[in-house]
Structure 1
């Protein structure tokens, strides 16, 4: 997959750290990687955004790109309108991803919020951009109670837009998972209609970058250039 979109079932669930882990695992395999953030919200012009955080964790070899930046931490369309700035449109995202794919083995496109958050006044979303790019979508989900419904809704939206769900990654796996999280190991693939491809430990983004890069492949299944035995997760954590 030369282009992979990364979305979440909500906000603050580990999309950026997951993107960094996938980038680090690909780099460890000798692949060239670019990360595209179509719309960065809630950041000033000189502040490091999500793409910069991916490069900090995964390594300076990552090429980063950002199409627009809006100061308020809102949905991209709302943030653009309130700032009086042009919105990012799905066709621009797909075009930028294609240009990066021409010179990189893997392009990761990290969305803002969930799959159907509005990018422009016409209602364009990350799903529309992924459809134009003909790219699969990786879903980042929470570990515990409530995640099955949110994941199933995201998967339904993907199918409605004619998109392929590449798999699910749990963006923050607790050190001591409760019953709901342990049950979700087996239930998330059914909810998503796609395999569980990663368990990122809680607090992974706070690791020193060298430790993050060394550990990242072990959090991910081989489909994401990782080394983890995905079948072993059910045996280790499942309920």
Structure 2
């Protein structure tokens, strides 16, 4: 129920923001991507992705013996919540919220400034998404932290034996949702620096990854520290990449 309510709230906030867009008037071009900046960001994203793919081939699934020796008393207290919960509904709900975050940048196309800056914004979003995804996957294959449900006696053994059971740190759902929602807020802030809707945009951008993070813990898919780091990583990338493309910056 909480995920449905948050989805409705996100939609309401989006509609509210759209009511402010036509009144902005002045068309601005806050971004001026340089070839050098693009080369660095695209190269970094490509390197992270390629490395993660190569290392992933060396990762083997957990065995029953591996699972039997996992010690829950070694888990920090702030992470224990996730080991006591497993929910398919929560898992599916966070997948839907993740998809909603993918769509969030398209709200910027509702008015002329967004459409006039579409090519530059699309490049910014793509570059950041590449870096975000590459960093998520590389960290997972390097850390190989067992997911919370591997400590849960109620979780099916066949689920625990999947390769993905070793990819708890850090949360890709949290990082990706934070990246797309915060990027949308950052782009909106740069396009409409004097907009009255800005606080609502940032509110929606913060609520979406928060809801996803809670859902990932409730589903038993991630620890609190997984979603905390994931949200932080996605947020940092969402702020830094557009900033590097600002007029007069990173050029």
Alignment TM-score > 0.5, same fold: no
The structure with the largest alpha-carbon Rg is: 2
Higher helix share: 2
Relative to the length of structure 2, the TM-score reads: 0.25
Relative to the length of structure 1, the TM-score reads: 0.25
Greater relative contact order: 1 or 2 (C-alpha under 8 angstroms, separation 6 or more)? 2
